[in-house]
Structure 1
């Protein structure tokens, strides 16, 4: 059974660097990559008031598709085993859940994504995952 690396990916420069680092590791050692894109749920009263469920789903699907296109720019050229996954929810919680449920051996993620915490040295999602998991985490700057 191959060692599984979970790579949270939102197409930010930091997540692209983390993915490229993971690809290098996978090529050398034969890891299986799980590239995870987490879309926010947007299930609030105010959002539902102005936007239909179909519009939200379309937005989430398009955002994930765009992220996966970016990921495949790096993955397509390499001989690595990978799976692309889209999940909906709170990013750090979904990352932790996915790592527990799928027998992930290592999480490789960037320091910060495309969220609001652009000025932080270590983004809130990365920090929360690092503080809440028992699985090794590699943070790629």
Structure 2
């Protein structure tokens, strides 16, 4: 049974498919749905990753666009925008939320990869303590 489902969104078709599946699972299990976006960082400031206001606006627009195609109005849903390396942020948020599952696209829009050169979904699948479902 799922109580908490984390859905990383990057604007890709696979991520939107993952949101659709997650919404169905959330309905069936009366689960809380967390929609997470990790913006691409374009600048560094004092050795820490910085997101600009325009990146935060773009992140919210990306999530709103996904929500226009998949209705989650009947679900307990929260939106999260976090900075950092996508795989690390996804794993950290899943742990913080005590997520029962991460449902994410198999391949996203970005060229972001883990330190060994693999995809974000592969890194999350390897690191996460909860179930990870990747969607094509």
Q: Same fold (TM over 0.5)?
A: yes
- How far apart, in 1, do the equivalents of 2:68 and 2:13 lie? 13
Corresponding position of 1:94: 89
Corresponding position of 1:18: 18
Corresponding position of 1:114: 109
TM-score normalised to structure 2 length: 0.83
RMSD of aligned Cα (Å): 2.0
Corresponding position of 1:50: none
- How far apart, in 1, do the equivalents of 2:71 and 2:43 lie? 34
Q: Residues 3 and 29 of structure 2 are in contact (CA less than 8 Å); yes or no, is this contact kept in structure 1? A: no
> Could you give the per-residue CA deviations for residues 71-108 of structure 1, whole angstroms, max 9, x where no partner exists?
32145454111101100111000001101111111110
**Corresponding residue pairs, total:** 126
Give the 3-state SS of the residue equivalent to 1:39 in structure 2: coil
- How far apart, in 2, do the equivalents of 1:30 and 1:77 lie? 12
Corresponding position of 1:9: 9
Corresponding position of 1:67: 62
Choose between structure 1 and 2: higher helix proportion.
1
- Per the TM alignment, residue 63 of structure 1 is displaced from its structure 2 partner at its CA by 1.9
Corresponding position of 2:76: 81
- How far apart, in 1, do the equivalents of 2:111 and 2:42 lie? 16
- How far apart, in 2, do the equivalents of 1:78 and 1:58 lie? 26
Give the 3-state SS of the residue equivalent to 1:44 in structure 2: strand
